[in-house]
Amino acid sequence: MALPYLRFRIAHPASPLEHLRILDSYWLNTLPLEKKLVQFGSEYIYGLSPGYWFLPNERDLPRHLMKGYGHILRYIFPFAVLGLILAVRNIKSSAYRTTLIALIAAPAGAALVQIGITRSLVLVIPATILIALGIKKTLTWLENRRIPHKALSISLFAVLSLTNFFMLRDVLQNAPTWYQDYGLGGMQYGAGQLFPYIRDYLDEKPESKVILTPGWANGTDIVARFFLGDPLPIQMGSIDGYLYYRQPLDENSLFVMTPDEHQVAVESGKFKDIQIEESLHYPNGEPGFYFVRMVYVDEIDSILAAEKKERLILRSAEVMIDGEAVQVRHSLLDIGEAQHMFDGDPHTLARTFEANPAIVEISYPSPRSISGVSVIIGSTEAEIRAQLYATLNADPIEYIGTFKGTVEQPEVAFDFSHQTTIQFLRLEVRDLHQGEPANVHIWEIRSKE
C-alpha cells in the first residue's frame, strides 16, 4: 500500500511541501510544534468521527453537501459498527487488518490542512467494506433464523432501491433551494441556464459584443467553451476592467454580470444610461445575472486620470528587517503586503496593482553597510535600479542591471562595486516583458552585507 506513495516521493520530492503551501497548511505557519500536533489530532479525530460522516455538517462547501444528509446514509451506521467489531475480532487475518489500516490512515492527509470531503473521500473505501461486512453478518444471522435467502435478497434490493429513488426525488425537487449562496463560494449555479441563453441571444442579436463576468464559478472560461465552442463568441471579463482604465464601450457592448457587480457599476459614477435588458433568476427567485448595456459618463477621462494620480502615490508601512522596525514606502499592492517582501519566506508574495516599475523605498533607522541586494522576481526578466543614499539628503549612488529569473532560480543577485554605508535605499523593479499597467511580482528583498 505504501509503494505508490514512495514512488511518487522519489519522482516528485518537492510536490507534497508545495501542495501544503498552496493549501496554506498550518504545518507551515509559525506555530509551536505542540499546537500543530494538537490541531492535527483534532482534525484527524474529526475525520474519523461518525458525526462527520453520518450526520449533516456545515463545515464542507454547500456544493459538496446534500442538505439534511450525512456523507454516508445515517441508517446504515449500525452496520458500520458491526463491521468494525468484526474487523477488530479478526485482526490476525490480513484482509481484515488491511481494511483497518486503510481506515486509520485515511484521514491523515486531510488532517494536515483541514478535514473536508474532497480531501477525505478515500475513507469511503474502508467504510464501505466494513458496512458490507456488517450487512453480510446480519443477513447470515437472519438466514440462520430460517428467513429464506431469496426473501432477504429481494428485501435488501428493495430497501436500497427505494432509498436511492427517494434521494433522487428529493434532489430533483428540493436541491436547487437547499442553499441560498449560488455564487463562487456556494453552488456556482448558472452554467446550464446561462450559456444556452447567451447562445440564443447572440443568434437574435449577433451585433452584440457580450462580456461575461467569470467571478461566479471556477474555470468559467472552460465551462463556456463546453457550451459555446472554441473560439468563444463572447469575451470573458468583469466590470472591474472598465472601472480603472478606459476601454472600448458602445451601444453594442453587453455585460452579463451579477447583481453585486451591477451595484458596483451604478455606484461608481463612471457610467450612464445603465439599462438592464434581460435578467436570469436563481432557483429561489432572486436575480442571478443581469444583461446590461451602458456607456461611460462624459467626464470619464478626467475621473480616471485623477484616480490614476492617486494610485501612483507610494504607500507607507513599518516592516521588520533583521529584528529591526524599518519604514518602507512602496507602490500600491493588490496581493500581499510590504512585510511579505522582507519576511524571509520566499513563498509569500507582494504584487503591484498596476505599477511597472515596482518602487520600494527603505529608510533604515541607523546606517547599515551593504554590498548588494538580492530580489526574488520569479521566472521573468527585469531591470533593477538601485539608488543608495548615505543620508536622506545626500546624492545617490546608482546601479542599474538587467536580470533573468527562472523557475529553478527565481532569485537574482545585484552586487555593487564596493561596500557602501547607507541609510536610505530605493529600488525599482521593472518587468521588461510588460508595459504599464502591469503586475510586478516580488517575493523577497534581501540586502547583502
Per-residue pLDDT of the chain (449 residues), as tens digits, is 789 989 999 999 888 888 898 888 999 888 899 999 999 999 999 999 999 999 999 899 999 999 999 999 999 999 999 999 999 999 999 999 999 999 999 999 999 999 999 999 999 999 999 999 999 999 999 999 999 999 999 999 999 999 999 999 999 999 999 999 999 989 999 999 999 999 999 999 999 999 999 999 999 999 999 999 999 999 999 998 899 999 999 889 999 999 999 999 999 999 999 999 999 999 999 999 999 999 999 999 999 999 999 999 999 999 999 888 999 999 999 999 999 999 988 989 999 999 999 999 999 998 999 999 999 999 999 999 999 999 888 899 999 999 999 988 999 998 898 888 999 999 999 999 999 889 999 999 999 88
**Strand pairing of 253-257 and 209-212?**
parallel
Are the C-beta atoms of residues 384 and 446 closer than 8 Å to each other? no
Distance of alpha carbon 261 from alpha carbon 282, whole angstroms: 16
Centroid of chain to Cα 355 = 24
Question: How far is C-alpha 326 from the chain's CA centre?
Answer: 32
Burial class (CB in 10 A: 0-12, 13-18, 19+), 150: exposed
CA distance 73 to 66: 11
Report the interhelical angle of 124-144 vs 149-174 (nearest 10°).
Answer: 140
CB 299 within 8 Å of CB 270? no
Which pLDDT does position 162 carry in this prediction?
A: 96
**In this structure, what are the phi and psi dihedrals at residue 215, rounded to the nearest 5 degrees?**
-80, 5
Which pTM does this prediction carry?
0.79
pLDDT tens by residue, 353-366: 999 999 999 999 98
- Residue 407 confidence (pLDDT): 84
β-sheet bridge partners, residue 415:
372
Task: Give residue 128's identity as a one-letter amino acid code.
Answer: T
Q: How far is CA 358 from the centre of its chain?
A: 25
Distances in Å between the Cα of 436 and the Cα atoms of 9, 38, 352 are: 42, 48, 11
Comparing CA positions, the residue from 79, 54, 96, 81 lying closest to residue 134 is 79
Q: Report phi then psi at 314, rounded to 5.
A: -70, 140
Are the beta carbons of 403 and 379 closer than 8 angstroms?
no
Residues written for the chain: 449
Say which residues have a Cβ less than 8 Å from residue 376's Cβ, sequence separation at least 6: 346, 405, 410, 411, 412, 442, 443, 444, 445
The sign of the CA dihedral 35, 117, 13, 409 is negative
* Three cell numbers written together for 146: 430460517
Q: 418-431: buried (b, 16+ CB within 10 Å) or exposed (e) per residue?
A: eebebbbbbbbbbb
First to last CA, the chain: 50
Tell me the H-state helices in 145-180.
Answer: 149-174
Report the largest interatomic distance among the alpha carbons of the chain, rounded to a whole angstrom: 101
Q: Given the C-alpha cell 554605508, which residue does it identify?
A: 421
Q: Report the alpha-carbon distance of residue 421 to residue 414 in Å, rounded.
A: 16
Q: Which residues does 380 contact at the CB level (< 8 Å), separation at least 6?
A: 404, 405, 431, 432, 433, 441
Taken in order 47, 50, 54, 56, the sign of the CA dihedral is: negative
The residue type found at 253 is S
Identify the CATH class of 312-448: mainly beta
Predicted pLDDT at 322: 85
Q: What angle do CA 125, 130, 136 make, to 5 degrees?
A: 125
The owner of cell 463491521 is 83
Instruction: Report d(CA 40, CA 26) in Å as an integer.
Output: 9
- Please report the DSSP string for 353-397 in residue order: SS-SSEEEEEEEEEEEEEEEEEEE--SSEEEEEEEEESSTTSPPE
Domain boundaries, the chain: 31-177, 191-304, 312-448
Tell me what pLDDT residue 359 has: 96
The chain-wide mean pLDDT, for the chain, equals 93
Q: Please give the Cα distance from 204 to 197 (Å, whole number).
A: 11
Cα–Cα distances in Å, from 263 out to 195, 242, 268, 363?
Answer: 23, 14, 8, 42
Question: With contact defined as beta carbons under 8 Å apart, do 331 and 314 qualify?
Answer: yes
Measure the CA–CA gap between 351 and 439, rounded to whole angstroms: 6
* Burial (0-12, 13-18, 19+ Cβ within 10 Å), 146: exposed
Residue 22's pLDDT is 87
Q: Do 287 and 259 form a contact (C-beta atoms < 8 A)?
A: yes
